[in-house]
Amino acid sequence: MNWLWFHKLASPPYAYAVARRFRPWLLWPALLLMGWAAYAGLFVVPPDYQQKDAYRIIFVHVPSASMSLIIYSIMAVSSAIGLIWRMKLAHAVAAACAQAGTVFTVLALATGSIWGRPMWGAWWAWDPRLTSELILLFLYLGYMALRASFDDIGRADRACAVLAIVGVVNVPIIHYSVVWWNSLHQGTTLSIFGKSAIDPSMVTPLLAMLLAFALYFAAILCDGVCAEILRRERNAQWLTKLEPIKQGSLKAA
Amino acid sequence: MGEYGLYVWSSYGLALLALVWIGVSARQQWRRELKHAQRRIQAAAQVIAQEHRT
């Protein structure tokens, strides 16, 4: 298999051009899919026999929680690539992921808390799933704080990479917490191998919202990576050839 | 939605706010870095032009 396309992504000007080109193709399908999934989740699918309409929070809670785990995993893999192959762009990807990952984690905790109030009678419980998700939030915040504390980008990259790689052990703990311990939180909703614990009529909007969130994150990542590349390539000659810089106007961006 | 309407709509509202915020924030970061790059390159071009004159 020809891996040239992958190695070319290590080149900042190439990666920049690819990110700018892909962004609209990721963003608009994400927004359309999100709109459809929200409409279906709120108005089309029937209410749950036990939780009635309260369960509709699942269509934002599960995708945000899933994204919080996926994004941290991406950060850890990018950091490992950056450390092993000394690819600066891999560190740029990890840095660009952090803010979105934090927001998805906060959203998962907040929507989970709002859902827990009518169902469990409490806004919060020191349940294994909730506690490990809270630890994930601290890891994201710690990553961003650590990055901000260094003046030198190279040292920041290495320190944050170690944190991301060590912290990734929390991801399987969050996922399997409902299996390993007695948990107030319900078990895994979707299952790739075997029967999902959700009615088939509810699966389609849930998967659609998850895909929408993933596409939206990918679109945001394009902007984040471009910002990181511009920050790191301050004195690079190729910047003079960028259209908005040649024209002296951000309207061309 | 009955008695659960407040919980459901506040969750969706929070999700919408969060998604808009990260989208706008990422876009603004990129535009800010682009502006900085523009200014640096224009300043460097002016310095080179002045050196040529002298």
pLDDT of A182 reads 73
Among A residues 94-113, those touching chain B with beta carbons less than 8 Å apart? 96, 99-100, 103-104, 106-107, 110-111
Break chain A into its structural domains and give their ranges.
54-252
A85-93 long-range contacts (CB < 8 A, ≥24 apart) are A87/A10, A88/A12, A88/A157, A88/A232, A89/A9, A89/A10, A89/A12, A89/A15, A89/A225, A89/A229, A91/A157, A91/A160, A91/A161, A92/A225, A92/A228, A92/A229, A92/A232, A93/A221, A93/A225, A93/A228
How confident is the model at residue A193, as a pLDDT? 59
Contacts of B21 in chain A (CB under 8 A): 103
What are residue A193's phi and psi, to 5 degrees?
Answer: -105, 105
- Per-residue pLDDT at A133 exceeds 80: yes
Q: Which residues of B touch A226 (CB under 8 A)?
A: 30, 33
Q: For residues B19 and B9, what is the distance between their CA atoms, to the nearest angstrom?
A: 15
Question: What is the tens place of the pLDDT at every residue in A138-177?
Answer: 999 999 999 999 999 999 999 999 999 999 999 999 988 8
Yes or no, beta carbons of A230 and B2 under 8 Å apart? no
Tokens 């036990």 sit at which residue?
A50
DSSP state of A150: -
Mark yes or no for CB contact B30/A115 under 8 Å.
no
Is the pLDDT assigned to residue A249 strictly greater than 60? no
- Residue A253, pLDDT score: 47
Say how far apart CA A235 and CA A172 lie, in whole Å: 41
| End-to-end CA separation in angstroms for chain A | 35
Domain ranges of chain B: 29-54
Pick from B8, B21, B23: which is nearest to A54 by CB? B8
Q: Is the pLDDT of residue A79 over 90?
A: yes
Coarse DSSP helix, strand, coil percentages of chain A, rounded to the nearest 5 percent: 80, 0, 20
Put simply, whether A161 touches B (Cβ < 8 Å) is no
How many other C-beta atoms can be found within 10 angstroms of the C-beta atom of residue B4? 19
Torsions phi, psi for A181 (to 5 deg): -125, 160
A143-174 CB burial, b ≥16 within 10 A, e <16 = bbebbeeeeebeebbeebbebbbebbebbebb
C-alpha closest to that of A51 among A120, A124, A119: A119
Whether the pLDDT of residue A252 is over 70: the answer is no
The answer to whether the Cβ–Cβ distance between B33 and A250 falls below 8 Å is no
H helix count then E strand count, chain A: 9, 0
Q: What is the mean pLDDT of chain A?
A: 89
Residue B38: closest C-alpha in chain A: A245
Please give the average per-residue pLDDT across A71-99, as a whole number.
95
Mutate one of A60, A105, A147, A240 to test the B interface: name it (highest B CB count within 10 A).
A60
Task: State how far residue B50 is from chain A, nearest Cα, in angstroms.
Answer: 19
Distance in Å, alpha carbon of B46 to nearest chain A alpha carbon: 14
Q: Which of residues A11 and A239 earns the better pLDDT score?
A: A11
Nearest CA in chain A to B34: A230
Q: What is the pLDDT of residues A166-222, one digit of tens each?
A: 999 999 999 888 888 777 677 666 655 566 667 778 889 999 999 999 999 999 999
pLDDT tens series, chain B, 54 aa: 778 889 999 999 999 999 999 999 999 999 999 999 888 888 888 888 888 887
When CB atoms are compared, the residue of A60, A99, A239 closest to B25 is A99
Name the pTM for this structure. 0.91
> In chain A, which residues have their Cβ closer than 8 Å to the Cβ of B4?
52-54, 56, 118
Let me know the angle formed at the C-alpha of B6 by A99 and A220, rounded to the nearest 5 degrees: 20
Q: How far apart are the first and last CA of chain B?
A: 76
Q: What is the 8-class DSSP label of residue A54?
A: G
pLDDT at B50: 87
Closest CA to A217 of A59, A86, A64: A64
Q: How far apart are CA B17 and CA A103, in angstroms?
A: 10
What percent of chain A clears pLDDT 70, i.e. is strictly above it? 91
Count residue pairs from A and B with Cβ separation < 8 A: 105
Half-sphere exposure in the Cβ direction for A104 (13 Å, CA): 25
